[in-house]
Amino acid sequence: MVLELNQLSKSYGRNQALQNLSLAVEAGSVYGLLGPNGSGKTTTLGLALGVLRASGGTVKWFGSEPTAATRRRIGALLETPNFFPYLTARQNLVLTAETKRIGTGSVAAVLDTVGLGTRQHEPIKGFSLGMKQRLAIGAALLGQPEVLVLDEPTNGLDPQGIAEVRDLVQRLAGEGRTIILASHLLDEIEKVCTHVAVLQKGQLRTAGPVNSILNAADRVVVRLAAGVPAAKLQQALSALPAVHDVKPETNGAVSMQLAADFGPADLNRALFDQGLVLASLEVRHRSLEAQFLELTK
Amino acid sequence: MLQLELRKLLPYRTVWVILLLHAALLVLFVSVGGGVVINGQKIGSSLYAFPGLWKNLSYVASYFNLLPGILLIILITDEYQFRTFRQQVINGSSAAELVQGKLLVAVLLSLFAVLAVLATGLFFGLTKAPETAGQATTGLQAVLLYAVQTQGYFALAALLGFLIRKSGPAILVFLLYAWMVEPVLRYPTPDDIDRYFPTKVLSSLTPLPNEEVMATMTGSTGALLPGEAVPFALAYAALFWLLSYLLLRNRDL
């Protein structure tokens, strides 16, 4: 395990920002932390990265207690890009490299990767938020860390920048790097993550592989050929253990959720075996927002 | 670590402005000081004569310690404001290393202050009282005591920076404490206790020249002798840095 959080809690006075969060991030996964603003994503990462003091619970990196040395194996962008405004982009990255105790040789390459090569000698106080965000991503990449922690990495970026960051995350994941990504954007998590934990009001709602969590909410809508009594369909469906949450829809159609190992084709075959012929079968992807609302209900 | 701190300091214009201001004020004050007339006699030559010069100059310089102290507060509170302490912890620094880095900056500032005193002293001593040049290296322990004093003030400044985290309030508290709070607290406190108060101990390191003479006329000031004050000053400095470390380690960044 790269990261294990056990019963992690954090309170600010009477405000409980995080309650008994436990989760584990496996090596090589792209782990998404999903939740609305104020749900505890940044608090979780701040606790994991040693800048916030937990009210309770433990953090383990690479199976051991976190230390300054374990943090040097991680590249992280937490909440905001944090740099010395009077130093240039290059000077800031050199400082980062020295703090991480790696050579400064990779600074130039990283600046090119994040598209700031031509402006590396400008003080960053003149940079836009998007440019600072790029620089912060570059700082996280320095030294090719085995783990990347990116908190809202597309914040402040234009659409092209957002696409670039997503490509970058996917490329890094392809190289086998472990990535922990916090976002309030569901489609961002869905596009790049292998695993997701959903947080709301400081509590873990659900966690697991992305396709089992985000696709579980897909519904299948079927309509029978004309002349077949609707009751027969209800009866047949209730006999199938993989079908649940059956609801009547308009025009005599019926919608349902299917178990993960039971696809629409399985449903079609099972109904046909009982002599029920479908006029239509439709897999309805629920909107991401609807899924999210469902998860955090 | 030295290299890391220098990379932050050298390109920072504020650092140069305050250090140059500090040196300029010292030089200005010393050059004007020689023109002061007491009892119809210019004190110039007696002020600039070695070896007494070092004592005089250390005493004068002690009034300017607050300026590099303010600079240190700015450098520490900047790191909170820019959230660079936070980022350095994320990048793999420990709280101890961050505090050590600022201690190193405090030592550099002391070094600068001492060099400013030495350079000013040599310049004025050699140009205005060249006949005493043979004794230029005598009495340099006064400058050493001054160096200890700067460490004390800088440790207090650092603690306030780490504690308050905002430059304006921290500087205000620093000045108020040195100029008002402690003097007021000392007022009702018996002399044999208040001489152990932090800034009292520190100011004992660079006594008013000819204080011994004054004491015979006006009674003892109750202050510690410079030599006696050294261990207390160092203990205060160590305590302030330790508290700074504990603050940084135990609070959220």
User: What CATH number is attached to the domain comprising A257?
Assistant: 3.30.70.100
Provide the pLDDT for residue B217. 58
B97 has pLDDT over 70: yes
In this structure, the answer to whether residues A264 and A117 fall within a common structural domain is no
CA distance A133 to A155: 7
Q: B250: nearest CA in chain A?
A: A53
What's the structural domain count of chain A?
2
Residue B250: its chain A contacts at CB < 8 A? 53
Residue B88: its chain A contacts at CB < 8 A? 99
Do A82 and B82 count as a contact with CB atoms less than 8 A apart?
Answer: yes
In this structure, the answer to whether residues A178 and A59 fall within a common structural domain is yes
In this structure, the answer to whether residues A43 and A81 fall within a common structural domain is yes
CA distance B182 to B197: 8
Which of A192, A214, A236 delimits the end of a domain?
A214
Instruction: Please return the burial class of B221, using the count of CB atoms within 10 Å of its CB with bins 0-12, 13-18 and 19+.
Output: middle
CA distance B179 to B173: 10
Summary count for chain B: helices (H), strands (E): 14, 2
Q: How much is the mean pLDDT over chain B?
A: 89
B228 has pLDDT over 90: no
B219 has pLDDT over 60: no
Do A91 and B3 count as a contact with CB atoms less than 8 A apart?
Answer: no
B75 has pLDDT over 60: yes
Do B88 and A99 count as a contact with CB atoms less than 8 A apart?
Answer: yes
What's the structural domain count of chain B?
1
In this structure, the answer to whether residues A179 and A270 fall within a common structural domain is no
Which of A224-233, B107-116, B215-224 ranks highest by mean pLDDT? B107-116
Provide the pLDDT for residue A217. 61
Strand order in the sheet with A56-61: A15-25, A3-12, A56-61
In this structure, the answer to whether residues A58 and A200 fall within a common structural domain is yes
Provide the pLDDT for residue A254. 87
Q: Report which of residues B15 and A264 the model is more confident about.
A: B15
Residue B97: its chain A contacts at CB < 8 A? 68
Q: Report which of residues B80 and B137 the model is more confident about.
A: B80
Instruction: For residue A85, give its domain range.
Output: 3-214
CA distance A86 to B12: 7
Amino acid of residue A134: R
Residue B92 has its nearest CB partner, among A84, A85, A99, at A99
Provide the pLDDT for residue A99. 94
Which of A185, A214, A243 delimits the end of a domain?
A214
A127: helix, strand or coil: coil
Provide the pLDDT for residue A232. 82
In this structure, the answer to whether residues A171 and A189 fall within a common structural domain is yes
Provide the pLDDT for residue B218. 57
Place of tokens 């959720």: A257
Residue among B12, B80, B91 with most chain A CBs within 10 A, to mutate: B91
pLDDT tens digits for range B158-173: 999 999 999 999 999 9
Q: Average the pLDDT over B216-228 and give the result.
A: 70
A209: helix, strand or coil: strand
Question: Residue B29 — very low, low, confident or very high, per pLDDT cuts 50/70/90?
Answer: confident
Provide the pLDDT for residue B215. 58
Which of A181, A214, A247 delimits the end of a domain?
A214
Provide the pLDDT for residue B105. 97
CA distance B99 to B89: 12
Residue among A80, A99, A146 with most chain B CBs within 10 A, to mutate: A99
Q: Average the pLDDT over B216-245 and give the result.
A: 85
> A67 to chain B nearest CA, in Å?
8
CA distance B208 to A14: 53
Residue among B13, B16, B87 with most chain A CBs within 10 A, to mutate: B87
Do A72 and B12 count as a contact with CB atoms less than 8 A apart?
Answer: no
Tell whether B91 is within 8 A of chain A (Cβ): yes
- Which residues are CB-neighbours of A179 under 8 A, at least 6 positions away? A29, A30, A31, A147, A148, A149, A150, A169, A172, A173, A192
In this structure, the answer to whether residues A158 and A78 fall within a common structural domain is yes
- Which residues are CB-neighbours of A184 under 8 A, at least 6 positions away? A34, A35, A36, A37, A39, A41, A152
Q: pLDDT per position in chain A (297 positions), as tens? A: 999 999 999 999 889 999 999 999 999 999 999 988 889 999 999 999 999 999 999 999 999 999 999 999 999 999 999 999 999 999 999 999 999 999 899 999 999 989 899 999 999 999 998 899 999 999 999 999 999 999 999 888 899 888 888 888 888 888 889 999 999 888 888 888 999 999 999 999 889 998 777 665 678 888 888 777 778 888 888 888 888 888 888 877 888 888 878 888 999 999 888 888 888 898 887 665 667 777 776
Half-sphere exposure of A228 toward its Cβ, with a 13 Å CA cutoff?
20
B142 has pLDDT over 60: yes
Tell whether B93 is within 8 A of chain A (Cβ): yes
Do B7 and A82 count as a contact with CB atoms less than 8 A apart?
Answer: no
Do B11 and A87 count as a contact with CB atoms less than 8 A apart?
Answer: yes
Provide the pLDDT for residue B36. 64
In this structure, the answer to whether residues A73 and A136 fall within a common structural domain is yes
CA distance A206 to A198: 5
CA distance A161 to A171: 15
Preceding peptide of B51 cis, ω within 30° = yes
In this structure, the answer to whether residues A263 and A177 fall within a common structural domain is no
Residue A78: its chain B contacts at CB < 8 A? 86-87, 90
Q: Count of CB atoms within 10 A of residue A264's CB?
A: 15
In this structure, the answer to whether residues A268 and A210 fall within a common structural domain is no
In this structure, the answer to whether residues A168 and A225 fall within a common structural domain is no
For A32, which DSSP code? E
List C-alpha distances in Å: A279 to A251, A253, A254, B22: 12, 10, 12, 89
Nearest to A153 by CA among A288, A33, A293: A33
| Across A92-96, A130-134, B68-72, B206-210, least confident range | B206-210
Pairing status of strand A147-151 against strand A74-77: parallel
B45 has pLDDT over 70: no
In this structure, the answer to whether residues A64 and A192 fall within a common structural domain is yes
Instruction: For residue B71, give its domain range.
Output: 2-250
